[in-house]
């Protein structure tokens, strides 16, 4: 009862009988009267208030029925329950409608018409898998590369970009940061790991379901701001140009590239992923609806729009923390100067042994020897020795010459593995990866042709009759060559990372129980005289795999964050001197 709760709340249930009686007498003496619910309902209405109080509930005799707190509470609970029941019924109705026969038919028809899945099965077509493996991966990596270029490579430039964008709207920086984090190698592996380039075999939708929903969620958060992101990217590139003051064609190519790749993500990849998600759930939930958000697992805390000006991003620290640290630094300036050398020494990050060894074996040959070894036909004779794409090609061909046999050789004995009821053949996985090396080589050929075309046009500039048309042509060719160079390095990075993932599994297994490779301690001996000159001739299987792993680890680090990375095609003299300062001794 409500009255019992009230008595307990004010503590009258703990009063002694004498005290309770005394209080009742005081209330009665002051004109009060104790009523129960029954007496309240039966009390006569106020003759003066009956006419003017028409909003109350009428009882017999024309009076106003007084509503008790318990009745009001019960009424509120009833209304709330009715509202919740109506909402639940509406959701169930929407869910039934989304799963109706007609909507399931339209889902299948949409997937078939877009070339995503056949009408009668939930197998993802190789054409769409190829789109994910090439176009989607390239676009995601381009977003990451641009983000790192703007916010991670140069701290002062990053601070300036963030400050100016924050002054306009913190959302601009947040969008750039979100797009930079779209690329996740592990998630993309879940999405495209079952697909082999050139294969016409479809892949079961359930096998790539986690990757579909993970990437779709990330793109869904960005989808409402698709145009705003391109504006933010172009504004950031303009700020970078005003600081660096390099050739204008470089920044124009960056803008064109990110617009192109972003359009692929939003206009081709996103709609296809929506269809795959609908097919996986057999629920026709339209993008943007409550049902769709529940289907893909959208979280309120992950929505865009929560960033505040000054929040840290990339190489830009927290603005408030930076101010506090600056004040503290002023107070201890004398001590800081005396310990400067020690601080610099301790600030250097420790390089993992595998990465350090990888750098070492990449420097075995001086550049002249590397060039003679892998460009003996002088196809790249006119290319600068500081050209990052050309150097990347030389390192790629070095891997192909010295280490890639590991991907296909029968001299390594693999044991078939079974995981979760699925068969895993690592020898077949490596053999399939070896086929992708052709795509990398083709990408470098495209860069070669684009660069030679640009140089030919540059040599013909003085012959051109129309200067304006020639300038437009040169700008277009510069952009084409820049994009081709970026594409070649991206293809090489992707190829190398896939091999690293499998090598890491093999190395971890050999360090433990060793169930995958049966002859890890057996030396690899080649029969042909030409092959006996390979660096891994006579090495144990485990050592050969480790050396190849270290080489690729160093190569990917240089492509992702090191001297082979960036929109500027040529290395600076300082970078070049450091990269080829002193060759290591072959062992």
Who contacts 239 (Cβ-Cβ below 8 Å, separation ≥6)?
A: 160, 161, 164, 165
Whether residues 406 and 289 share a domain: the answer is no
Which pLDDT band holds residue 53 (cuts at 50, 70, 90)?
A: very low
Higher pLDDT, 21 or 494: 494
User: Cα–Cα distance between 277 and 228 in angstroms, integer?
Assistant: 26
Higher pLDDT, 341 or 420: 420
pLDDT per position as a tens digit, 284-313: 999 989 899 999 999 999 999 988 888 877
Q: In the listed set 260, 291, 314, which residue is the last one of a domain according to the structure? A: 314
0.85 cut: is pTM over it? no
- For residues 328-352, average pLDDT: 48
Whether residues 366 and 309 share a domain: the answer is no
Q: Is 534 part of a structural domain of the chain? A: yes
Q: Strand 417-419 relative to strand 123-124: parallel, antiparallel, unpaired?
A: unpaired
State residue 440's pLDDT score.
92
Buried b (16+ CB within 10 A) or exposed e, 284-301: bbebeeebbbebbeeeee
pLDDT per position as a tens digit, 88-147: 778 777 888 888 999 899 999 999 999 999 998 889 998 999 888 888 988 998 898 888
Lowest mean pLDDT among 43-52, 225-234, 310-319: 43-52
Tokens of 136: 């989607």
SS3 385: coil
User: Cα–Cα distance between 439 and 196 in angstroms, integer?
Assistant: 12
Q: Kindly state the DSSP code that residue 182 receives in the 8-state scheme.
A: T
Q: Is 52 part of a structural domain of the chain? A: no
Q: Is 17 part of a structural domain of the chain? A: no
Q: Is 535 part of a structural domain of the chain? A: yes
Lowest mean pLDDT among 21-35, 366-380, 567-581: 21-35
Higher pLDDT, 211 or 248: 211
Whether residues 563 and 507 share a domain: the answer is yes
State residue 463's pLDDT score.
63
State residue 67's pLDDT score.
67
Which pLDDT band holds residue 395 (cuts at 50, 70, 90)?
A: very high
Q: Is 67 part of a structural domain of the chain? A: no
Whether residues 366 and 275 share a domain: the answer is no
Whether residues 366 and 486 share a domain: the answer is yes
State residue 98's pLDDT score.
85
pLDDT at 243 over 50: yes
Q: In the listed set 314, 343, 363, which residue is the last one of a domain according to the structure? A: 314
Overall number of domains in the chain = 2
State residue 52's pLDDT score.
45
pLDDT per position as a tens digit, 460-511: 766 656 667 777 788 788 888 888 888 899 889 989 999 999 999 999 999 9
Lowest mean pLDDT among 260-264, 467-471, 567-571: 467-471
Q: Strand 64-65 relative to strand 123-124: parallel, antiparallel, unpaired?
A: unpaired
Residue 203 CB coordination number (10 Å) = 20
- For residues 70-78, average pLDDT: 81
State residue 552's pLDDT score.
95
Segments of 387-519 assigned E as strands: 417-419, 422-424
pLDDT at 418 over 90: no
Q: Are 50 and 64 in contact (CB under 8 A)?
A: yes
Whether residues 424 and 525 share a domain: the answer is yes
Sign of the torsion angle spanned by Cα atoms 520, 522, 523, 524: negative
Q: Is 212 part of a structural domain of the chain? A: yes
State residue 330's pLDDT score.
44
State residue 295's pLDDT score.
92
User: Cα–Cα distance between 337 and 335 in angstroms, integer?
Assistant: 6
State residue 384's pLDDT score.
87
Which pLDDT band holds residue 337 (cuts at 50, 70, 90)?
A: very low
Whether residues 362 and 280 share a domain: the answer is no
Q: Is 88 part of a structural domain of the chain? A: no
State residue 66's pLDDT score.
60
Whether residues 225 and 365 share a domain: the answer is no
Whether residues 197 and 294 share a domain: the answer is yes
Whether residues 261 and 403 share a domain: the answer is no
Q: Which residue has the tokens 């993309």?
A: 188
Work out the mean pLDDT of the chain and round it to a whole number.
81
| Helix (H) / strand (E) containing 457 | helix 437-459
Whether residues 509 and 424 share a domain: the answer is yes
Q: Residue 377 is part of which domain span?
A: 353-579
Which pLDDT band holds residue 332 (cuts at 50, 70, 90)?
A: very low
Nearest to 124 by CA among 175, 189, 195, 63: 195
pLDDT at 42 over 50: yes
Whether residues 429 and 301 share a domain: the answer is no
Q: Is 449 part of a structural domain of the chain? A: yes
User: Cα–Cα distance between 333 and 338 in angstroms, integer?
Assistant: 9
Nearest to 139 by CA among 15, 20, 233, 266: 266
Surface-to-core class of residue 515, CB atoms within 10 Å of its CB (0-12 exposed, 13-18 middle, 19+ buried): exposed
Q: In the listed set 314, 339, 368, which residue is the last one of a domain according to the structure? A: 314
């Amino acid at each position: 009862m409500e009255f019992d709760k009230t008595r307990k709340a004010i503590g009258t249930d703990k009063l002694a009988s004498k005290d309770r009686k005394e209080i009742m007498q005081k209330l009665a003496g002051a004109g009060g009267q104790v009523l129960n619910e029954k007496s309240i309902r039966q009390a006569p209405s106020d003759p003066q208030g009956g006419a003017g109080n028409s909003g109350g509930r009428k009882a017999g005799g024309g009076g106003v029925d007084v509503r008790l707190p318990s009745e009001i509470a019960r009424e509120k609970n009833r209304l709330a329950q009715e509202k919740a029941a109506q909402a639940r019924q509406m959701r169930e109705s929407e869910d039934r409608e989304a799963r109706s026969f007609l909507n399931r038919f339209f889902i299948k028809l949409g997937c078939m018409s877009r070339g995503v899945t056949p009408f009668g099965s939930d197998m993802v077509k190789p054409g769409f898998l190829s789109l994910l493996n090439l176009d989607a991966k390239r676009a995601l990596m381009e977003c990451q590369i641009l983000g790192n270029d703007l916010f991670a490579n140069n701290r002062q430039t990053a601070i300036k970009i963030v400050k100016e964008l924050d002054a306009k709207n913190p959302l601009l920086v947040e969008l750039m940061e979100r797009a930079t984090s779209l690329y996740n190698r592990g998630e993309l592996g879940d999405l495209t790991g079952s697909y082999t380039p050139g294969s016409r075999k479809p892949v079961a939708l359930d096998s790539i379901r986690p990757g579909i929903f993970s990437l779709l969620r990330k793109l869904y958060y960005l989808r409402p701001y698709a145009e705003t992101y391109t504006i933010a990217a172009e504004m950031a590139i303009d700020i970078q140009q005003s600081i660096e003051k390099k050739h204008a064609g470089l920044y124009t190519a960056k803008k064109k590239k990110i617009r192109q790749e972003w359009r692929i993500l939003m206009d081709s990849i996103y709609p296809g992923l929506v269809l795959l998600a609908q097919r996986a759930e057999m629920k026709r939930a339209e993008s943007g609806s409550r049902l769709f958000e529940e289907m893909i697992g959208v979280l309120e805390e992950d929505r865009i729009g929560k960033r505040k000006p000054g929040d840290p991003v990339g190489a830009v620290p927290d603005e408030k923390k930076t101010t506090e640290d600056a004040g503290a630094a002023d107070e201890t300036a004398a001590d800081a100067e005396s310990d400067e050398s020690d601080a610099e020494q301790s600030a250097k990050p420790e390089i993992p042994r595998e990465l350090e060894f990888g750098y070492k074996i990449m420097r075995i040959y001086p550049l002249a020897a590397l060039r003679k070894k892998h460009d003996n036909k002088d196809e790249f004779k006119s290319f600068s020795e500081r050209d990052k794409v050309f150097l990347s090609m030389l390192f790629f061909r070095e891997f192909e010459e010295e280490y890639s046999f590991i991907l296909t050789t029968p001299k390594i004995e693999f044991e078939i593995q079974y995981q979760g009821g699925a068969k895993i053949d690592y020898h077949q996985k490596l053999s399939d990866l070896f086929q992708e090396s052709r795509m990398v080589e083709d990408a470098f050929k495209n860069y070669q042709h684009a660069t030679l075309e640009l140089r030919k046009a540059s040599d013909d500039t003085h012959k051109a009759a129309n200067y304006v048309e020639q300038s437009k042509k040169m700008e277009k060719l510069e952009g084409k060559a820049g994009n081709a160079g970026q594409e070649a390095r991206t293809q090489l990075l992707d190829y190398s990372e896939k091999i690293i993932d499998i090598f890491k599994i093999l190395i971890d297994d050999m360090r433990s129980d060793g169930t995958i490779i049966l002859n890890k301690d057996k030396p690899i001996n080649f029969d042909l005289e030409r092959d006996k000159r390979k660096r891994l001739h006579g090495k144990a299987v485990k050592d050969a795999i480790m050396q190849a792993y270290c080489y690729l680890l160093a190569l990917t680090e240089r492509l992702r964050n090191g001297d082979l990375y960036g929109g500027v095609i040529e290395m600076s003299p300082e970078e070049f001197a450091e990269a080829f300062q002193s060759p290591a001794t072959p062992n």
